[in-house]
Structure 1
Amino acid sequence: MAVQNSAKKTKKSAASGNSFINFFIDLKAETKRITWASKEKVKKATATVLIFCLIYIVIVGLLDVGFKNLFSVIFK
């Protein structure tokens, strides 16, 4: 059984100036629909990301120093 799509899409040429202008009009309309996070939530999320980045940096740094020392002992 074939499903028919009743909504027909109109095709606009990419070269027309109206499609370029309509893109920015649609972009403005979409940005108005965005629900932004509160300032407090953004601060919490930023702090969380920074803490995890610092933990990751410390772990990778310790592994780097450990493997460097291990290789220097092995290839002495």
Structure 2
Amino acid sequence: MAKVIQFFKESRAELKKVVWPTKDDVISSIKVVIISTIVVAVILGLLDLGFSQLFRIVMK
């Protein structure tokens, strides 16, 4: 049981050392992730559409 208590004490001490991001940093990161996801989705969608059309032409 002493090891468990020691673990939590050390964990708490380590969490006090963490530099948490500001609200603005988090919002900026979220915007980057959302925009990147949309861009990749559009690119993959266009590639899928292009390959589908190509295969339709080849299979005729």
> What is the CA RMSD across the aligned residues, in angstroms?
1.0
Unaligned runs of 5+ in 2: none
Q: Which has the larger radius of gyration?
A: 1
Q: Which has the higher contact order (CA 8 A, sep 6+)?
A: 1
Moved over 4 A (4+): none
Count residues with an aligned counterpart: 60
2:23 to 26, 39, 61: 39
**What TM-score, normalized by structure 1, do the two folds share?**
0.72
Q: Higher helix share goes to which structure? A: 2
Identity across matched positions, percent: 37
**What TM-score, normalized by structure 2, do the two folds share?**
0.88
